[in-house]
Amino acid sequence: MLFQIDTFPTPVRNGAGKRLGEQPSIHPTTSIRDCKIGSWTEIGPFNMLAESSFDDYSYTSEYVDVIYSEIGKFCSIARNVRINPGNHPMHRVTQHHCTYRRARFGFGEADDAEFFAWRRAHKCVVGHDVWIGHGAVILPGVTVGTGAVIGAGAVVSKDVEPYEIVVGVPARPIRKRFPEEVIEALLAIAWWDWDRATIEERFEDLMDTPRFVEKYSPVRRV
């Protein structure tokens, strides 16, 4: 005898089957510290976000870490992604965190504020409509341009241009998503900054890139 099983166990993603809204949807297993989270966002299970901003409509899957970073609108972040992993002080005699988490090891009354200020200064910036694939790592100080794609498992150590696709370890560009004239038009349109009513009105146009550029581009070529 065969049994039909549609779903087992109950999905753990926060709000499964639930409509998102102005209030961020944050899974109860996730840890957030000193962050700004936008509307229509979804933060998945077992995430950790610290001292970062996460703008409207962006979402994460499971086991994502985001530290000292700015994430734009409409970003899609897959499982096991790490954005801005902590640097260790390679210039010191020892790289061990006892030199900056001093209180924990009894080497001082307080931690090394200067070291953590150095970490914060090397923030990551992720533009709008960026897709970050499963298991990717974006290293400290990297900027990822709007519309870019980060391949699964990539380790991104250098800035990524808008609408560029990068893969590998270390990540390298393989192509752009669109021709340069289309990229220029999309950046000029900046549709991700439209208000909710405008997006709803023009939603179907998002499915057809040539039509979208033709209708909304402020760029006029002679």
Taking the C-alpha atoms of residue 13 and residue 165, their distance in angstroms, rounded to an integer, is: 28
Of the listed 27, 91, 97, 122, which one is catalytic?
A: 91
Contacts of 140 (CB under 8 A, 6+ apart): 68, 84, 85, 87, 119, 122, 123, 124
Q: For this structure, is 122 an active site residue?
A: no
Residues catalogued as catalytic: 91
